[in-house]
Structure 1
Amino acid sequence: MNGAEAFIQTLKDCGVNTCFANPGTSEMQLVAAVDRTHGMRAILGLFEGVVTGAADGYGRMADKPAVTLLHLGPGLGNGLANLHNARRAGSPVINMVGDHATYHLHYDAPLTSDAAGVARPMSDWVRVSRSERDLAQAGAEAFAVAQSYPGKIATVIVPADHAWTEGSATVSVPAATTPARAPAEAIAAAAAALRACTGPKCLFLGGRALREDALIEAGRIAAATGARLVCETFATRHQRGAGRVAVEKLPYFGEMAEAYLKDFEAIVFCGTEPPVSFFAYPGKPSFLSPPGATLVRLASLREDALAALGDLAAALDAPAQPALVQAPTSFAAEPGKLTSASLGAVLAELLPDQAIVSDESATNGAAAFGMCAGAKPHDWLQLTGGAIGQGLPLAVGAAVACPQRKVIALQADGGGMYTCQALWTMAREQLDVVTVILNNGSYAILNIELMRVGVQNAGPKALSMLDLTNPAIQWTQISEGMGVPAVRVETAEAFREELASAIAAKGPRLIEAML
C-alpha cells in the first residue's frame, strides 16, 4: 500500500466518503487512490473555489467533513476565499493539497511555492506529511481536527513522493471528542442578567444555536424571561419556518444594527460574539452593542450551544413549551414586473418542505428571507465570511450531502460570476438544485457602499466599476453552455410558473430573474 492509498483509506475508515476535486500532475497518485477506495465518491469542480465552497456546503449539512483535492499552492490559493467563508462558518473541511516531491523542491520548478504558508491564513490546522508512513497518520489527525465542534479547516500538504512510495498502512480511527461545555459561571451570569433586567433584553444567537433543537431551548428561555431572540446577520445554518421557534435578524448595515440594538439593557450571546460593523465608516462606530448594556457570553462558537441553552433554561426553571413559535404565513405577489418583494412572496409560497436555501442574493434577496419565515420548515445557509462567490458552490455541497432534499440557490448576478463553473458540476452530478439568478446588472451593494463611505458625486469611471451591463451578462446562455436548462423571467407571474416547474422536476435548473 502506498502513502496515498493509506491516506485515503484512513479517511474513508473515519467516515469521509466524499472528495471534491480539482487535481493536477502532483496529485495523480491521490487520484488513483480515490479511484481504488470503495465508497469514496469523487466530484470534479472546474475551479478550486467551487471545490472549497462545495466542501463548506457539504460540511454544514452533513455535520462531517468532505475532503478536497487541490493542486499545489496556487490551486489552494484559488480556493482560499471560500475556505475563509467555511472557517467563519465553523464548517468541518479536510484539504489534501499535493506538492512537489521532497527532492524536487530545491530545483524551484515553476509551480513551486510555500503551500503550507498559503494554507495557514484560512486553515485552523496545517500539517506537512513527513514520510509515506506518516501520511495516513496526518489524515487521521486532520479528521480529528475537522470534527472538533462545530467544525474546523484542516489542511494536509502531501509531497508527491510520499504519495507514491510503497510501504505505508492505514492507522486507527481517532476517538470522537466531546464538545466543550460552557462553564457553570457563564450559565449563572446569563441567568442573573436575564432575571435582573426589567427592560428590553435579548438572546443573541449564532452557529449551532440556530439549529432546531437549540432554538427550542432558546424559546423556553424567552418564555421564562421575555427576552427577544435575535440572530447574527449571516448564519451558517438557520433552521426556520412554520412550527419552529422564530428569530429576528440583525440588520446588515452598521448604523441600522446599532439602532436596532440600542434599547437592549442585557444581551446574552450564544454561538457567536457581540456584533461589529462589517467595515469601518467615517464617524460611525465599529462595536454595535449599546455602551450601557450588560453583555454576557453564554457560549462561544466552540462551546456546545445546545447544552448551554438547555442548562440556562434549567437554571431559569423555564416552561417546557417554547415561546415565539412561528405561525404559517402567506403573501400575495404583486402582479407585473418582478421585484424583490414579489420574488420573496412567490418563494415563500412554493418553498418545499425541508428545502435548503443557499443565499448569496445580496441586495435584491433581502425580502425573501423575511417572507420565508413562515414558509414550510427549511434550512437557510448564508454568506458567513462575506467573500462573494460562495452561493453556487455551497448549493452543490448541500445537494450532495442531502440528495433527497430540494436545494434553492438564491444568487446575485455579480457574485455568481465568481464561481459560475459550479453549474457544470450540478449538471455532471445531476444535483437537485434550482438556481435563481437575481439579475440587476450591477454590484448594487457597492453602489450603496460608495455613498455610505462618504464619496460625493461619483464620476463615470467609479460608476463603471460597479456596472455589469456593458456588455450585459447572458446567464441563460452561460447555464445552457454548462449543461443546466435555463429560462429568463421578467414578471412575477412568469417567475411563479417557472419556479413551480423547476421545483416539481428533478435535477438542476436555472431561472434568470430580471429585477
Structure 2
Amino acid sequence: MAKGGTRVAEAEVEVEGNGAEVLVEAMVAAGVEVVFANPGTTEMHIVGALDTAESGREGVRSVLCLHETVCAGAADGYGRMKGKPAATLLHLGVGLANALANLHNAKRARSPVLNIVGEMSTWIKGSDPILNMDIEKLAETVSSFTRTTESAEVIARDVAEAVVEGCYDVHGRGGSCVSTIILPHDFAFQAGVRASVRRVPWRPSRAISESFDGAGDFIKACAAALRQPGRKVAVYAAGAATLGGNYERVGKIAAACGAKLFCESLFSRLDRGVGSPHAARLPYFPQDALREFSKYDVVLCIDAKKPVAMFGYEKGPVDLIPLDEESLWEIDCGFDIDSALEMLYKETGASRIVPGTNCRGVFVVKESRPRRPAQNGKLAAMSMCNLIAAHQPEDAVVVDESLTSGTNYYEASKGCPKFSHLFQTGGAIGIGPPLAVGCAVACPDRKVINIQADGSGLYSPQALWTQAKEGLDVVTVVCSNRKYNILNLELEKQKVTSSNHAQNLTSLSDPPIDWVSLAEGFGVKASRATTISEFDELFSNAVRGKGPHLIEAVI
C-alpha cells in the first residue's frame, strides 16, 4: 500500500509503494479524478493500485469502457467540459491503436487527456512477444508529450511533466494537449518505490503570456486595424475564446468593431443560447467558406488555426482566408488567451457594449425557441431538429454528431436558454456516444443530449453500455436515415457516377439496424419514432426523465 504524508516541499509529498501505486498517487496529485479504462494483463497492477493507493481509494473514479475508442472519446468530452485531464488506461499498442481515431479528435479539440499505456516488461520486450509494438510512434501521432518511463523511480516525475507540459501546454506551443505515458509492466509491479509526488495546480500559469516582447503593441495595432473606418471586418473564434466569459468578451469586441463573428464549422465547444453571442458557422465546403471570407478586408483569428480546406478537391482552394499578412491578425498559442482578450477588450472599447442595446445583433437577448411543427406527418430532419431545440432544458450539454441530418439544429437552437454545444472537431466519426459519456461524468447535474448520425454511431455503440452501467443522464437521438448521407453529398460534389456500387457502399437499409434492440441489449431504455407526434412525446418525456435513454428517429 502506498504511504503518503511526508511533506518534502509545499508542492510535493513523498510516497512509497509499488510502481503502480506511485503512478496513481502522482495522477491524483496532478488533478486526475477519473480513469476511463479498458485494461489488460500489463495494466493489472495499475487496476489494483486504484484500490491500494490511498489517493486512489479516495479520489479516483474508474469507468469501464468496452472499447478503447470509448475511453478516448469519453476523456475528450470530460476534458472539454472540465478543462482538466481525465486519464485513459489502455492495453499495450493494440489498445492505443484502437483509441487513435478519437484521440485524433481530442488532439484537434485541444482537450487535455492523459493516456496511461501499459508496455511489455523491459526484460521480455527484446524477445518480440506477440503483442509487441512500437507504442511511442503510435502515440506521437496524437500526443504533444510522449514518454516511456525509464525506471520506477521516475514515474511520479513523468506524470507531473506529462500533465504540465502536455495537457496544460505550459510552454504555449499550441497543438495537441494529449499526453501519453508508457509504463513497462515490471516497473508497475516493482515494490518499494519511493518518490516525491508533485502537486500540479489546475491550469498552471503559462511560461509565456502577455509578457512576451511586443504583446501590448501587437494588441493595440490589432485593435486599430479592427476599428479602421470603411473596412469590413470579421472575427473568427475557437477554443478558449468560445467559452463562458471569454466568449462574451469576444462578442462585445466584435460588436464594438462592427465585425461579423464566425466560429469553426467543426467547433470544439460553444457556450451558446440566451445572453451569449451567436456566431455564424463557417461553411463546411471550402469553396463556400472561401466565398464567405472574401467579403472581408480584415480578419482576426482568436485561438483558431488559420482555416484551410478539409480535403484537396480537384481545382479546389487550400487557404480559406484570401488576405495578406497585414490584413490577417492572429491571437494564438503565443498568448495567454484570457489575458490577450482582456487587453483587446479594453483597447477596442468593448466595455461600452450592452447586449440588446448596442450589440449590433451579435448577442441573443431573449428566449425564442422554434415553433413546434404540426403533429401530423412523417418525421423529417428539420422537424426533429426543431423539436430538440423546443424541448432541450436550460444548461443542457448537446453533443452533436448529427452531420447532414442535424444541419438545421444550429440555427434552430439559437434562442434556447444557455447550453453548451460540442461538435465532432477532428473529423473522425464515431465520437458522439463516447463524448456524451465524458460530458455526463464531468457534469452529472446537467442533461446531456447526443444528436447522433446512425452511421457514425455504429463506430462506438459500446458507449451505451457504459452509460447504462454508470447510470449517466444521457438522451441519445439517433438520426436514422439508414445511409451514409455525407458520402452521397461527396459523390455528387465530386461528380462521381456509380449507381450500383455507390448504393451498395452508402446504404444502411439492407438489413436496417434495429437501434432499439441494440440499445436495450446494452441496458439502455429505447424507443422509436417515425412521426412528428411520436418524436415530440418521446423526446419531451426523455429530457424530463433521468438516466440513459435512446430514441431512434426514423427520418
> Aligning the two structures, in what range does the TM-score lie when normalised by the shorter sequence?
over 0.9
The alpha carbon displacement at 1:301 in A equals 4.9
CA contact (8 A) 1:265 1:293 kept: no
Q: Secondary structure at the match of 2:317?
A: coil
- Which residue in 2 is equivalent to 1:173? 199
The answer to whether the aligner puts 1:5 opposite 2:21 as a matched pair is yes
Post-superposition CA distance 1:308-339 (Å, at most 9, x none)? 22211211223333422203222223332112
- In the TM superposition, what are the counterparts of 1:34-49 in structure 2 within 5 Å? 34-36=50-52, 37-38=56-57, 39-49=59-69
Per-residue CA shift, 1:113-153, capped at 9, x if unaligned?
A: 11111111011110101111111221111121312268711
1:362 maps to which of 403, 424, 427: 403
SS at match of 1:50: helix
Q: Which residue matches 1:72?
A: 92
SS at match of 1:375: coil
Q: Which moved more, 1:283-292 or 1:138-147?
A: 283-292
Structure 2 gap ranges (5+): 1-16
Of 94, 98, 101 in structure 1, the residue corresponding to residue 114 of structure 2 is 94
- Partners in 1 of 2:495 and 2:309 — Cα distance? 16
TM-score, length-scaled by structure 1: 0.97
More deviation, 89-98/259-268:
259-268
Range moving further from structure 2, 240-249 or 94-103: 240-249
Alpha-carbon distance in structure 1 between the residues aligned to 2:29 and 2:256: 45
* Structure 1 equivalent of residue 370 of structure 2: 331
Of 139, 156, 168, 1:136 maps to 156
**Retained in 1: the 8 A contact 2:269–2:420?**
yes
Cα deviation code 1:257-282 (max 9, x no counterpart): 12222211110110102211111111
User: Which amino acid in the other structure matches residue 24 of structure 2?
Assistant: I
Q: Which amino acid aligns with 1:441?
A: R
Within a 5 Å distance, the mapping from 1:441-456 to structure 2 comes to: 441-455=482-496
Per-residue Cα deviation, 1:238-270 (whole angstroms, up to 9, x for no partner): 000011122111111112212222211110110
Corresponding letter in the other structure for 2:204: T
Cα pair 2:31 2:200 within 8 Å, conserved:
no
Bigger Cα displacement from structure 2, 87-96 vs 268-277:
268-277
Q: 2:317 pairs with 285, 288, 312, which one? A: 285
Deviant stretches of 4+, over 4 Å: 291-294
Distance 2:48 2:335 in 1: 39
Q: Return the offset for 1:192.
A: 2.2
Contact 2:30 2:159 in 1 (8 A): no
Equivalence map 1:239-258=2 (5 Å): 239-258=271-290
Q: Does 1:512 align with 2:533?
A: no
The 5 A counterparts of 1:109-508 are 109-145=129-165, 146-148=167-169, 152-170=177-195, 171-174=197-200, 177-179=204-206, 180-181=208-209, 183-291=215-323, 295-301=327-333, 303-322=335-354, 323=359, 324-326=362-364, 327-335=366-374, 336-455=377-496, 457-508=497-548
How far apart in 2 are the matches of 1:408 and 1:440? 19
CA distance in 2, matches of 1:319, 1:120: 43
Tell me the CA shift for residue 290 of structure 1: 2.9
Take 1:294 and 1:375, find their aligned partners in 2: how far apart are those partners?
Answer: 38
Q: Deviations over 1:280-299 (max 9, x none)?
A: 11122121113469543331
Cα offset for 1:217? 1.3
Look up the SS of the partner of 2:265 in the other structure.
coil
Label 1:302 to 1:97 Cα distance change in 2 as closer, same or farther (>3 A).
farther
Equivalent-residue separation in structure 1 for 2:444 and 2:169 (angstroms)? 25
Matched, 1:23 2:62: no
What's the CA shift for 1:419?
Answer: 0.4
**Count of residue pairs brought into register by the alignment:** 514
TM-score normalised to structure 2 length: 0.90
Which runs of 5 or more residues in structure 1 are unaligned?
A: none
Q: Which string of whole-angstrom CA distances, capped at 9 and with x for unpartnered residues, describes residues 329-362 of structure 1? A: 2222333211221112111111111100111000
Cα RMSD for the two superposed structures: 1.6
Distance 2:229 2:191 in 1: 66
Amino acid at match of 2:198: S
Post-superposition offset of 1:234: 1.4
Deviates more, 1:59-68 or 1:274-283: 274-283
Q: 1:292 to 1:114 in 2, by over 3 A?
A: closer
Verify the 8 A CA contact 2:367 2:416 in the aligned structure 1. Answer: yes
- 8 Å Cα contact 2:156-2:198 kept in structure 1: no
- Asked if structure 1 preserves the Cα contact closer than 8 Å seen for 2:297 and 2:323, the reply is no
Q: Which residue of 1 aligns with 2:81?
A: 61
* 3-state secondary structure, aligned to 1:169: strand
Contact 1:197 1:265 in 2 (8 A): no
Task: Find the aligned partners of 1:463 and 1:491 in 2 and give their Cα distance.
Answer: 26
